[in-house]
Amino acid sequence: MTTGRDALDRKLIALLQMNARMPTADIARRLGVARSTVHERIARLERTGAIAGYTAVLARPDTGSTVRALVMLAVEQQQMRETIRRLATFPEIRTCLTIAGEFDIFLVVEAPQLEDLDEALDEIAVVPGVRRSQSSIVLASKFDRSPATMPPGAPVAG
């Protein structure tokens, strides 16, 4: 099934992901199209379900000073729901994804210092249901397309 989105739709979606409250006139100016085109495109994207809703993105306190790890977990299948419920109680876990393959869960874990990250990783490894874990410390972030990290007025790739 094709999405029917063209380059203009993708640029429009990128702008809305950066700031869903951006005035239509600003979007139109940045895309080089008429305001009516932006209105029509947004309405179509909402109608077809490409845009499911809008949300507030909360800022993270001083993300530049955090350390991050990417964690893979192998989990007892019978305990998957309970394990995920327990993982949700860790404030250091920013992202939890279920995946297919050798591991069952992928986590992004952040902490203020390496010592805090080490402690969180130790606690995650002993959550009931976790059979095995593998962690990689993030050395640098080269780019991040998540909306919270895009500065206002950033150019839209295209």
CATH of the domain at 80: 3.30.70.920
Instruction: Please indicate, yes or no, whether residues 34 and 80 belong to a single structural domain of this protein.
Output: no
pLDDT at residue 158 in the model: 47
Question: For residue 157, is it within any domain?
Answer: no
What's the confidence (pLDDT) of residue 145? Answer: 74
Q: Tell me: do 70 and 132 sit in the same domain.
A: yes
Q: Which residues pair with 75 in a beta bridge?
A: 130
Q: How far apart are CA 23 and CA 36, in angstroms?
A: 12
Longest dimension (CA), the chain: 56
- Position 153 in a domain: no
Bridge partners (DSSP) listed for residue 69: 109, 137
Domain hosting 68: range is: 63-137
Q: Which residues contact 157 (CB under 8 A, 6 or more apart)?
A: 14
Euclidean distance between CA atoms 128 and 141, whole angstroms = 31
My answer on whether 80 and 38 are in the same domain is no
How many separate domains does the chain show? 2
Domain membership of residue 55 (yes or no) is no
pTM over 0.75: no
Q: How would you write the pLDDT of the chain (158 residues) with one tens digit per residue?
A: 445 788 898 889 888 887 889 999 999 999 999 999 999 999 999 999 888 888 776 555 555 578 999 999 999 999 999 999 999 999 899 999 999 999 999 999 999 899 999 999 999 999 999 999 999 999 998 887 776 554 455 444 44
Which of 130, 138, 134 is CA-nearest to residue 110? 138
Domain assignment of residue 20, yes or no: yes
Q: In 10 A of CB 55, how many CB atoms?
A: 8
